[in-house]
Structure formats: C-alpha cells, structure tokens
Structure 1
Amino acid sequence: MAVASVAGVGLGWTPLSALARATVQLSVVALLLRGILSVPETVGAFLLLMAATASWTASGRLRDLWHGRRAAVTGVVAGAAVSLTAIFALHLVALQVRFLVAVAGIIIGNAMSAATLAGRNFLRAAGHRRDEVEAWLSLGATPSRANLEIGQEAVRESLLPNLDQTRSTGLVTLPGAFVGALFGGASPAEAAQFQLVVLAGIALAMTICGVVVTRMLGRTPYVVATARD
C-alpha cells in the first residue's frame, strides 16, 4: 500500500481489504474442507459451490454483453466438466476426495478466468471491427459467421498468458500444484507428473470455456452495437 501510494497508483485500501477478504474466505474453506475430508459424500456439494461461485463471478464481468451471464455460466461449467472428466476417466490422477477437490479448484478457477478474458476480448474486438461485422451482416451472413473470426481471436488472446506461463514452468516459476505436491510428501518426479496433468487440464478447460463463451456471444448482431456504446 505504501509503494502504491507513493507511486500514485491510487489503490487506496484495496490491497489490505483484499487480503482481509482472502483471510476470511480461506478460513471458511479450511473448515469446510475438514468436514468434506471427514465425510466424502459432501464433496459433490462443495464442487457445486465452487462452480456456482466461479460462474457468478465470471457472469458479473460479462453482464453488459448479450446473454453474457448465460455464456459465462455455460462456458465455465462446460470447460471444467470436460477437463475434470478427462483427467479422472483416464486415471491421470487417483479418484480420491482430496485430489478431486484440489484439481477441481484449480481447473474451475482457470475456467472462470478464461470466461472473463474471452468475453472481454470479444467485446473489445467487436468494437474495433464493427464495420467488418456490419459488412458481413449486410451480405446476408448469420451473426455467428460475422463474429466468427472475432471470437477466434478473443479465445487465442485469452489463452496466450496461460500458455506463456506453461512454457516457463520449471524455469521461471514453480507452480502451486508442484510445490503443494512436494509439501505433501511426493517425490519431485511425482510432483512434476501431477503438475503436467494440471497444466494440460487447465489448457483444455480454458480452451473449451473460451470457445463456448465466444460462440454464444457471437450469435447476435447486437454485440456490435453494445461494443460501440
């Protein structure tokens, strides 16, 4: 806060309030996880809570877009569901409650980020290329076709930061899943294997989420008008 204040960034009390909120939330989650690990049957409800919270957060970011909330919820759920199903169906990670909760939290969180990034990139690109979209529509193209390339660009841009981080894994950063596995007693080789599975799962979830969100947003010509405003 002191550095931001001196630099004139204007964050105010936001860093402190963010840490305070994280403290409260992590305390609650720690209590919930203690109960979940003791009663595995409740894991479904906890996963639903995570998915609902992520969907609500992402939908709030896209509320200014046509059916943005619906697109965000659908994208997050679809991306996370497909990725988690693939990971555990292929037995890449043991189907145990503690592993399921850990992996689901990472996957769902990144799907939420993908929905927000893809949606906002879509809106920005639609504003810059509205004349191109209107030209497509004037030629009789469907809204989906008129917005197709914009959606593809939005998905690509939303994936690049995660792909760059994946490329630098082990050289620039030691990801949380790798460090967590080490702290949990896994060997470096086992931790690396777990991290690779997580990275692949994140990429799959984010790709599916981004595609679903942009395809749903691109179904209406009103996106162009919204972007212009």
Structure 2
Amino acid sequence: MESFFVRNNTFFQREEDTGMDLAWMIEFLKGMVKPVAATAVVGLAVGLSFWQKLGLESEMFVAIVRAFIQLSIIGFVLQFIFNQGNAGWIILAYLFMVSVAGYTAGQRAKHVPSGKYVAGASILTGTSVTMFLLVILNVFPFTPRYIIPVAGMLVGNSMTVTGVTMKRLRDDIKTQINLVETALALGATPRQASHQQLKRTLIIALSPVIDNTKTVGLISLPGAMTGLIMGGASPLEAIQLQIVVMNMMIGASTMSSIMATYLCWPSFFTKAYQLETKVFTD
C-alpha cells in the first residue's frame, strides 16, 4: 500500500524552493482575503455580545487580532524553517514550544512548587520519547515539515494533561489531607499515603484523551483529518494519519502525566515524611 505521507497532495507536498520574494508575498496577500472575510463571523459574535450586554466585545476583538498576528508571524517563521531544512531549527522550534507549554501548565498549577519546571520536564519527556519512537519506526521522516506540526500537536495536548494532573493532585491531597496524615502517622511512606490520590488524578487527567479516542470520527472529524480532506487528500489517506495522531496523543499524554506526578508529589512532603503544609495553603 502506498504510504499516505508520500502521496502528491496539496496539504503536505509544497515546492521546497519557494523563496521569500515579491511573487510569494503577493500570493500570501491574496490568500489572506478569505481569512479576513471570515472575520464577519466575529463581527456577528461581537454584535450578539453587545446585544446581550455580556461585555466581551473588547476581549473578542483583542483575541482575533492576536490570533491574526500570531498565526501570521508563525506562518513566516515556519516558511523560513521549511526552506532551511536544518535539524537544528527543528530542535529549536520544539524546545520553544515545550518552554511555552511548561510555563502555561505551571501557571495552571501555581501552588505546586517549581510547577513550571516540573511541567516543562514532564512535557519534554513524554513528547520527546513519543517523537523518537515515531521517527525510529519510520512513521514520520525527520524533516521540519513533518516533525514541527507533530510536535505542536503532542506538546499542546501534553500541556493540557500535565496542567490538570498537577493541579488535581495537589487539590485532591488537600481535600483528603486528614486521610493522608493518618496514613503517614501509621508508618506509611509519602508514596503509599498518597497512592489513591495519585491514581485518581491520573485517571481524571487521562480520561478526556481516552474518551476522545473512543469517539473519534463518530462525533466530529478531528483537526488533522479535516485539514487533509480540505487540502485535497482522500478520506482514506486522512484516516491513516488520524490513527497515527490519536495513538501518539495517548502515548505522549500518559507519559507526561505520570512523569508530572513523580516529579511534583515529593514537594508535597517533608524529609520527615510529613505534609508540607505551606503547599496546601491558598
């Protein structure tokens, strides 16, 4: 069976030698006509917000302007990286994404000591191992055009799961602090005393990813599959890629989530096997 990665379709196959010249800029501006026209939908949302007195008009306007600017910038950056074809740019882009994701997830779990570093290390571990396996198994070639989009999907999903894991673990232990302290008083280690909280946290954090995988294609068509179909690929090619995406999401999310629990739970306890009370003070 011919691989869907090497088919000649408009989504993946572009001219590698496209230059940042005037002709390319003109084509880019022409292509922005439809995105600009689509802001009419945002105008409708702003009008509804004003009508219902929600007070979200300015936030909607700022959000769409930021999205427009950020995506335009990243488009030029990716165009530059794709033209270079250098592995160093792949690693640099990947580390940048992990850094931003670690900071964002750490902000969600702001009460966890060194939360940003814990989140960053967890996301880095889960996504790098997953991408390494995908490259070794020749699922994706190690080129910017494939690795950077894949890394973006993995890092974004792992960021969400990691943030939820860290915050939920801390909140769960706080809610059952008497139970955990009783177990410690009876001679249990911190790991044993918080085992149920750790297990429950991982189940809650990973359940949305698993449920999404169970219902993929039945409720909605996922982004990667939709992008391929709209880009000209056949539905059969699209589902091949989507299966890969769902598999790698589960793998990266599980590793990142488990790593986060191992890295953050020791900060909840002292060396004397007592709860670190200041961690659980809002």
Q: TM-score, normalised by structure 2?
A: 0.74
Q: What SS class does the counterpart of residue 103 from structure 1 fall into?
A: helix
The CA RMSD measured in Å over matched residues stands at 2.1
- Equivalent residue, structure 1, for 2:118: 71
- Equivalent residue, structure 2, for 1:110: 157
- Change over 3 Å in CA distance of 1:195–1:148 after alignment to 2: same
1:9 positional shift: 6.1
1:75 positional shift: 0.9
Q: What SS class does the counterpart of residue 174 from structure 1 fall into?
A: coil
From 77, 88, 93, the counterpart of 2:135: 88
Q: TM-score, normalised by structure 1?
A: 0.90
Greater relative contact order, per chain length (Cα 8 Å cut-off, separation 6+): 1
1:210 positional shift: 0.9
Q: Deviations over 1:5-25 (max 9, x none)?
A: 666766563333222222221
Q: Which has the larger radius of gyration?
A: 2
Q: How many residues align?
A: 229
Range moving further from structure 2, 34-43 or 217-226: 217-226
Which residues of 2 match residues 1-229 of structure 1 at below 5 A?
1=46, 3=48, 11=56, 13-41=58-86, 42-219=89-266, 220-221=268-269, 222=275, 226-227=279-280, 229=282
User: CA separation in 1, counterparts of 2:134 and 2:219?
Assistant: 26
- Alignment gaps of 5+ in structure 2: 1-45, 270-274
Match for 2:65: what amino acid?
A
Match for 2:119: what amino acid?
A
Contact 2:102 2:117 (8 Å CA) reproduced: no
Match for 1:159: what amino acid?
L
Match for 2:100: what amino acid?
T
Query: Taking every aligned residue pair, what percent have the same amino acid on both sides?
Result: 28
Match for 1:32: what amino acid?
V
1:129 positional shift: 1.2
1:94 positional shift: 3.3
User: CA separation in 2, counterparts of 1:206 and 1:143?
Assistant: 25
- Change over 3 Å in CA distance of 1:33–1:11 after alignment to 2: same
Contact 1:130 1:224 (8 Å CA) reproduced: no
- Equivalent residue, structure 1, for 2:19: none
Range moving further from structure 2, 56-65 or 9-18: 9-18
Match for 1:15: what amino acid?
M
Q: What SS class does the counterpart of residue 156 from structure 2 fall into?
A: helix
Q: What SS class does the counterpart of residue 170 from structure 1 fall into?
A: coil
Contact 1:178 1:194 (8 Å CA) reproduced: yes
User: CA separation in 2, counterparts of 1:12 and 1:153?
Assistant: 39
